[in-house]
């Protein structure tokens, strides 16, 4: 299938982290990918790749024009892009693609961070059943099937949130200070510029 113009939702897991010995904060080159979960809109299919499958993953990304993630600009994109640039074949440059980072969209509007689990619970009625810190332990315990399931679950939540972002153009977000549920509204024509914030009761 021709995947040119595809939109990909993705999430990476690593087998180590910045706080591990010999890594250091923001040392993306020292991070090792364990798995990458991806959803392709053109194929309507989920995939999960291990570290040794970066060539196949690069082929999928080469056909994409838009990539979607949650906090991806801070973590997923810099790590994965370094992997792609090490490939012998010509690889896609993730920084050159249209990127929709759902966490950044909320941050630009509210000036506060929120977890994927809390955002999903507020808007989808479901939350993550495992914590992100467990992913590294799953890899080192050799539980690759569980790790892939965990990663793809994050991709599925992000994909469902992105669908809402496109269709209803707003998220419901609990304010960290007050606990009040507020609506963060996004403009179709202002991707990457944040949104406006309204108290939930103003929707009535």
Where are the chain's structural domains?
6-168
Q: What pLDDT is recorded for position 199?
A: 41
Asked if residues 184 and 170 have their Cβ atoms less than 8 Å apart, the reply is yes
Task: Work out the average pLDDT over 50-56.
Answer: 96
Q: What pLDDT is recorded for position 189?
A: 41
Model confidence at 188, pLDDT cuts 50, 70, 90, reads: low
**Who has greater pLDDT, 50 or 111?**
50
Residues whose CB falls within 8 Å of the CB of residue 15, separated by 6 or more in sequence, listed in order: 32, 33, 34, 136, 139, 140
User: What is the chain's mean pLDDT, rounded?
Assistant: 88
pTM, two decimal places: 0.88
Asked whether the predicted pLDDT for residue 65 surpasses 60, the reply is yes
**Strands, sheet with 98-101, edge to edge from the N-terminal-most edge strand:** 45-50, 33-40, 6-14, 64-69, 98-101
Residues whose CB falls within 8 Å of the CB of residue 1, separated by 6 or more in sequence, listed in order: 42, 43
Model confidence at 117, pLDDT cuts 50, 70, 90, reads: very high
Asked whether the predicted pLDDT for residue 150 surpasses 60, the reply is yes
DSSP code at position 73: T
Q: Which helix (H) or strand (E) holds 188?
A: none
Dist. CA 8–CA 93, nearest whole Å: 14
**Who has greater pLDDT, 12 or 133?**
12
Residues whose CB falls within 8 Å of the CB of residue 134, separated by 6 or more in sequence, listed in order: 150
DSSP code at position 49: E
Model confidence at 85, pLDDT cuts 50, 70, 90, reads: very high
Per cent of the chain over pLDDT 90 is 71
Task: Work out the average pLDDT over 61-78.
Answer: 96
Pick the CATH number of 6-168 from 3.80.10.10, 3.90.79.10, 3.30.70.360, 3.30.420.10: 3.30.420.10
Asked whether the predicted pLDDT for residue 203 surpasses 70, the reply is no
Q: What pLDDT is recorded for position 3?
A: 52
Asked whether the predicted pLDDT for residue 9 surpasses 80, the reply is yes
């Amino acid at each position: 299938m021709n995947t040119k113009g595809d939109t990909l939702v993705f999430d990476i897991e690593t087998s180590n982290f910045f706080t591990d010995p010999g890594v250091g904060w923001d040392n993306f080159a020292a991070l090792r990918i364990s798995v990458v979960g991806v959803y392709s809109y053109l194929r309507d299919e989920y995939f999960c790749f291990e570290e040794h499958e970066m060539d196949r993953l690069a082929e999928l990304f080469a056909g994409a024009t838009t990539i979607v993630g949650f906090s991806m600009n801070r973590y997923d994109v810099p790590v994965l892009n370094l992997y792609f640039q090490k490939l012998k074949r010509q690889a896609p440059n993730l920084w050159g693609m249209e990127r929709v980072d759902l966490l950044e969209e909320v941050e630009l509007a509210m000036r506060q961070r929120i977890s994927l689990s809390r955002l999903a619970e507020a808007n989808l009625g479901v939350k993550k059943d495992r914590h992100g810190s467990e992913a590294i332990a799953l890899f080192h315990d050799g539980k690759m099937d569980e790790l892939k399931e965990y990663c793809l679950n994050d991709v599925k939540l992000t994909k469902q949130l992105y669908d809402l972002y496109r269709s209803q153009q707003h998220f419901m977000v609990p304010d960290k200070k007050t606990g009040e549920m507020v609506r963060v509204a996004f403009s179709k024509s202002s991707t990457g510029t944040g949104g406006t914030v309204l108290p939930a009761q103003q929707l009535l």
